[in-house]
Amino acid sequence: MSTDISRYTITAALPYANGPVHIGHLAGCYLPSDIYARYQRKQGRELIFVCGTDEHGAAINMKAQAEGVQPKEIVDKYHAIIRDSLKDIGISFDIFSRTSNETHHKTAQEFFKEMYKNGSLEEKTTAQYYDPQAGQFLADRFIMGECPNCHFAEAYGDQCENCGTSLSPTELISPKSRLSGAAPELKETKHWFLPLDHLSDKIKSYIQSHKDWKPNVYGQCMSWLESKDGLQARSMTRDLDWGIPVPLDDAEGKVLYVWFDAPIGYISATKELLGDAWVDYWKKDDTKLVHFIGKDNIVFHCITFPAMLMEHGGFHLADEVPANEFLNLEGKKISTSRNWAVWLHEYLEDFKGQEDVLRYVLTATAPESKDNDFTWLDFQTRNNSELVAILGNFVNRVQVLMQKYYDGAIPAASKLETVDEEALTEVAAAPTTIEESLEKYRFREALSRMMSLARLGNKYLADQEPWKRIKDQPQRTATIMYVAAQITAQLSQMMEPFLPFSAAKLQEDLGMENWAWSECSRKEFLAPGSKIASSGHLFSKVEDKIIEAQKDKLEAMAKAAQGPSYEPVKDEIQFEDFTKLDLRVGTIVSAQKVKKANKLLHLEVDLGFETRTIVSGIAEHFSPEELPGTKVSVVANLAPRKLRGVMSQGMILMAEDSDGKLTFTSVPESMPNGSIIR
């Protein structure tokens, strides 16, 4: 890894094709990767920048089913939206592929076969639910039944949406297939697992050879590697009909696990782009492999995927994984299901021609070292007082003055004074300082260093006051304007990775090309006599009412998404079913936290005829001190269950609103403990 770098493989996390891309994705992954790729291209480095949609997995299957369409329709729709919106915001992928295409299917299958041949995969047979009517095995999500825990009737096979418990399908009481409604049968099925424990040391020394990785990345990896349970084997296959068929004889109806095939998508995309030359970008050690991802993907890219590559053999492992944290929106977590998001394709509609504004704001506020907040007010401020007032304004001043005094033709400088020399020295030094930041993945710092060129320009003009000198010092004025023109030219070059649209526009005004990075460490970009045109302001102000409209839109969309989110009414039951429940009035006599659990409270509840111990998961909603004396409704005949070492003998009834907030179901104070509720 210390060898000289001959080429770069830059990947951006594959967006999952079950929804559009929002500003969080952009800030966390696509913008930084694009800035990096554009910068390295300008450096003249050989590189590929690959991405594509991730189109497999049970979630897409589910969504298709919910909408009553084929999975293919879902992924086609979102692939197009994602591809177009990323292109329109200027993300300069060399290829934007998709995991549903043939090259990828073949590549993933070959990869799997090779691992199989190497003996890296462990075959295990387990009992899984099977739908006899639909004739297929059921993914966890495809099974519904009664939660063993809270007895919610529509718990899914992986999790109960009502009480949040993680489940395995076999725990469900009276399970039903969501495909046909039939009762599923347990049937033996075979899957292929990737054991990781034996790789633990190898992975650890790999991670430890990258101590320079960002603390969040390095820390999280070591946290996993040093966890007491060790690295668990993960199943690399699923019983599903949407995905890449497992390329083995005895694997009818089985597909590769989506997390297995997705990262191979980077490789397939490279093949698609380069043909046989893909090998250079993935197997040679003089290649630098950089994965841009969000923090949710760290473990996968730093541990699982490298493990897959190690087991397959012959691959070069990631050199850098500059993962970002999360971006919040107006103080709240971005949420697709609550529709709390600024969607990229909608931004592009609402802010036509202002692609660079979003790029600027999201780069300036990118969550590089900790979660960060995007607000529309901040968006407006940064646009108006940074892009418009500093950058756009400086460029415009130069263009206007040049036009006014010299008809747009750059004058020749006479003798350079110290201030001129100093300014030009800074101009020539800009690439070096910006490069320093970019090579360390400090994009916000790089952006700010780029902006200081504009600040330098504004100060230079203010100090030199050409508008005063034009009257009686024509030679001095010419020199000043010559210098100002060079600053502008350098700006147009240094802007390019960050603000490609504005850079192109400015370069055109200046009659320049997008120069190589190495050509930019200079003092003269534009010779005297070359023309500077002006095609109008680079940026325009964002008015208050635009911001208000966006904020209103956000609230309205969130409200609409939240409106009809009532739980569906459960299946009808008979009166006898109801009478099985023994509900009683009780009073909490004492409450204390259960140790080593932060959601559980150990309650003693007086039921009149006896006092019960009940463990309740309400510790995040109530403090123990406020509870004694509270009248509650209790399920008195629930089978006892041990929770965190404490035997719980019953359950307290709670009401929950759509935000997950809990309250006790009220019982009048006057009702004696032990009274029956029916």
Residues 400-459 that bind RNA (CB under 7 A): 400-401, 404, 444-445, 448, 455, 458-459
372-374/332-333 β-pairing: unpaired
Could you list the beta-strand ranges (E) of 87-195: 95-98, 122-131, 136-137, 143-146, 155-156, 173-177, 185-194
Residues 305-364 that bind RNA (CB under 7 A): 325-326, 333, 364
Residues 566-585 that bind RNA (CB under 7 A): none
How far out from the chain centre does Cα 345 lie? 16
From 68, 119, 215, 564, residue interacting with RNA (rule: CB under 7 A): 215
From 190, 210, 295, 553, residue interacting with RNA (rule: CB under 7 A): 295
Annotate each residue in 229-248 with x if it binds RNA (CB under 7 A) or - if it does not, as one string: --------------------
Residues 481-500 that bind RNA (CB under 7 A): none
Place of tokens 């023109």: 485
| CB contact at 8 A, 234 and 193 | yes
Q: How far is the CB of 651 from RNA (least distance, A)?
A: 4
Residues 56-115 that bind RNA (CB under 7 A): none
Place of tokens 């401020």: 381
Q: Is 678 in the site for RNA (CB under 7 A)?
A: no
At residue 143, the 3 state secondary structure works out as strand
From 3, 6, 208, 223, residue interacting with RNA (rule: CB under 7 A): 223
From 4, 596, 672, 676, residue interacting with RNA (rule: CB under 7 A): 596
Q: How far is the CB of 598 from RNA (least distance, A)?
A: 4
Q: How far is the CB of 395 from RNA (least distance, A)?
A: 8
From 5, 59, 222, 251, residue interacting with RNA (rule: CB under 7 A): 222
How many positions of this chain bind RNA (CB under 7 A)? 82
| Cβ-based nearer residue to RNA, 316 or 397 | 397
The rounded distance, in Å, linking the Cα atoms of 167 and 175 is: 12
| CB contact at 8 A, 82 and 278 | no
| Cβ-based nearer residue to RNA, 124 or 537 | 537
At residue 106, the 3 state secondary structure works out as helix
Annotate each residue in 599-628 with x if it binds RNA (CB under 7 A) or - if it does not, as one string: xx--------------xxxx----------
The rounded distance, in Å, linking the Cα atoms of 52 and 60 is: 16
**Which residues sit opposite 601 in a β-bridge?**
593, 616
The rounded distance, in Å, linking the Cα atoms of 108 and 260 is: 8
Q: How far is the CB of 446 from RNA (least distance, A)?
A: 12
Residues 135-194 that bind RNA (CB under 7 A): 149-150, 162-166
Residues 372-401 that bind RNA (CB under 7 A): 372-373, 378, 381-382, 385-386, 388-390, 392-393, 396-397, 400-401
| CB contact at 8 A, 97 and 272 | yes
At residue 401, the 3 state secondary structure works out as helix
| Cβ-based nearer residue to RNA, 99 or 458 | 458
Q: How far is the CB of 409 from RNA (least distance, A)?
A: 17
> Other C-beta atoms within 10 Å of 73: how many?
12
Residues 632-661 that bind RNA (CB under 7 A): 641, 643-644, 651-654, 656, 660
| Cβ-based nearer residue to RNA, 269 or 323 | 323
At residue 262, the 3 state secondary structure works out as helix
Q: How far is the CB of 602 from RNA (least distance, A)?
A: 11
At residue 663, the 3 state secondary structure works out as strand
Q: How far is the CB of 662 from RNA (least distance, A)?
A: 6
Q: How far is the CB of 393 from RNA (least distance, A)?
A: 3
The rounded distance, in Å, linking the Cα atoms of 4 and 474 is: 52
How far out from the chain centre does Cα 580 lie? 47
From 296, 421, 436, 610, residue interacting with RNA (rule: CB under 7 A): 296
Place of tokens 């929106």: 329
Amino acid found at 585: V
Q: Which of 492, 514, 497 is nearest to 446 (CA)?
A: 497
| Cβ-based nearer residue to RNA, 415 or 596 | 596
Place of tokens 């007086």: 606
Residues 358-377 that bind RNA (CB under 7 A): 364-365, 367-373
Residues 521-550 that bind RNA (CB under 7 A): 537-541
Residues 461, 465, 467, 471: is their CA dihedral positive or negative? negative
